[in-house]
Amino acid sequence: MKFSFSKTFLLGFGFFGVSVIWMVYNAFVPLFLANRFHIEPWLIGLFMTFDNIAALFIQPPVGAWSDRLRTPIGRRMPFILIGAPIGAIAFGFIPLAAVLPLFVACTSTLLLSMAFWRTPVVALMPDITPSAYRSQANGIINFMGGVGAIIATLGGGALYKLNPAYPFWMGSILVIVATLLLFLFIREPREYEITSSERPALFRSLKEVVKDPDKSAFRILLAIFFWFVAYNAIEAFFTLYAQNHLGLPGGDGARLLGQLSLIFVLFALPAGYIGGSWGRRRTIITGILLLSACMLLMFLLPAPTLLIQVTRLPVLGVVPIIGVILMIAGASWALINVNSLPMVVDMTDNLRVGTYTGLYYLFSTLAAIVGPNINGWIIQLTGKDYNRVMLVGPIFMFIALLMMIGVRRGEVQGD
C-alpha cells in the first residue's frame, strides 16, 4: 500500500460534504430555534444534541459493520451512497419548515442519514493510507473539510442575509457533488478479508481498550471526549454568543467562525506534517495549550476590545481582535484534530480500522451531547450571559491535557 496524494485529496471531498452540512447546521439552526420558534437557551442546547444522541447509537456500530461488510463496490461505499443523498434532501427542507414538528422531522431525518455514512467515509482514509502518512493524509482531508467550513460560514453568512434558506440549499448541492466525486474516483482496497473466526465488534474492542494494562488507547479516547466537550460546546453557541455578547448580527457571527475555519484550512496540512515528524502526542498537547489560552482571552477581554479592528483582509473583510484570536484557535484545533484520529487507528490493525474509528466517534459524540447541555444550562442559570461559554472550555481542555500526558502509543507504525 502506497501513499497517494491525489487519491487522498479526492477522498477529502467526502469529508468536505460532511463539513459543509454540519457547519451550516451549527451556525444557523440555533438562530432558527431562537428567532423563529422562540426557544429558551437551555432547550436550544438540548436540541443541538439530538443529532449527537442519534449518532452515538448509529456511528460506532456502523463503523464495525462496515469492517465486516463485503460488496462489489467495497465495504464503506454502500453506506455513503445511501446516507449522503437522503441527508442532502432533508437538509434542503430544514429552512422551509414553518412549524416546529416539521422542523424536527427534517432535522431528525438529516441526523439519522448523516450518522449512517460519516464513520465509513472517515474510515476510508486509513484504509488507503500507510501508517507513516496517516497524519499527513488526515491533514489533507481536514484541509478539504476546512474548505467546506469556509464555504459554509463565509459563503453561508452572506447567503443567509439574502435568504435564510440559501445556505442550506448550497449545502445540499455540494454534498451531492462530493458524493459523486467520491464514488467515481475512489476505489477501496480488496485485501481486507476476515481470515479468523473473530469478527470486528465494537463493544468487544471497547472492553479490550478499557482492560489494556497500557491504557494508552483508553486515555486518548478520554482526552478526545474532554477536548470535544470544550470545542463543541463553544461552537454550538458561537453565533448566539456573537449576537448577544458582542452585539453582532447572526451572519457576522458566522463570518467570524469563517476566520477560524480559514486558518484551520491553511494549517491542516502543516499540522499533519508536524505531527508526522515532531510526534503526534507532542503536537496535540501544544494545540491543547494554545486553544485553552484563546478561550480564556475571549472570556476575559471585554466585548468592545474584542471588536477593535486590527486589519482588513481580502475575502475576510474586517478582522477584529476576536478574529485574530479565532485564527490562532483554528491553528491550535488543527494541531489537535488532524493528529488524533491517526493516533487512535494506529493502536489497532487494518481489519478493525472502522471499529476504532467508531470508538473515536463514540467518545467525540458523547462530548458533543454533554458540551452544549452544560453550556445551555450555564447560560440559563447566569441570566443568559453567553460569555460564560468561553470559561468552560479551558477547564475541560486541562483534563484532556492530563489524559494525553499518560498516552504512550499511537505514533507511526512500521509498514
Q: What is the pLDDT of residue 199?
A: 56
Helix (H, G, I), strand (E, B) or coil at 155: helix
How far is Cα 152 from Cα 174, in angstroms, rounded to an integer?
10
**pTM (2 d.p.):** 0.78
Other C-beta atoms closer than 10 Å to the C-beta of 228 total 26
Residue with cell 431528525: 108
Q: What is the pLDDT of residue 94?
A: 93
Can you say how many angstroms the Cα of residue 231 is from the centroid of all Cα atoms in its chain?
9
How far is Cα 263 from Cα 328, in angstroms, rounded to an integer?
8
User: Residue 118: CA atoms inside 13 Å, Cβ hemisphere, count?
Assistant: 30
List Cβ<8 Å contacts ≥24 apart for 292-297: 292/393, 292/394, 292/397, 292/398, 294/325, 294/326, 294/328, 294/329, 294/332, 295/230, 295/234, 295/329, 295/390, 295/391, 295/393, 295/394, 295/397, 296/390, 296/391, 296/394, 297/325
- In sequence order, what are the residues at sequence separation of 6 or more whose Cβ sits closer than 8 angstroms to the Cβ of residue 294? 325, 326, 328, 329, 332
Q: Which of 283, 63, 267, 29 is nearest to 160 (CA)?
A: 29
Contact, 280 vs 179, CB < 8 A?
A: no
Enumerate the domain spans of the chain. Answer: 5-187+201-405
Contact, 138 vs 272, CB < 8 A?
A: yes
Retrieve residue 112's grid coordinates. 439519522
Q: What is the pLDDT of residue 152?
A: 80
Q: What is the pLDDT of residue 78?
A: 92
Q: Where are the alpha helices (DSSP H) in 32-155?
A: 41-47, 50-68, 77-93, 100-128, 134-150
5-187+201-405 classified as CATH 1.20.1250.20? yes
Q: What is the pLDDT of residue 197?
A: 45
Q: Show pLDDT as tens, one digit a residue, over the chain (415 residues).
A: 577 777 888 888 878 878 888 888 988 888 889 888 988 888 887 887 777 777 788 888 888 888 888 888 888 899 999 999 999 999 999 999 889 899 989 998 998 998 888 888 888 888 888 888 888 898 998 888 878 877 787 788 888 888 989 999 988 998 898 888 888 888 887 665 554 445 556 777 788 888 888 888 999 999 999 999 888 766 778 888 888 888 887 678 878 887 887 888 889 999 999 998 889 999 999 999 999 999 999 999 999 999 999 988 876 778 899 999 999 999 999 999 999 999 998 887 777 888 888 899 889 888 877 887 787 788 888 888 888 888 888 999 999 999 999 898 888 775 4
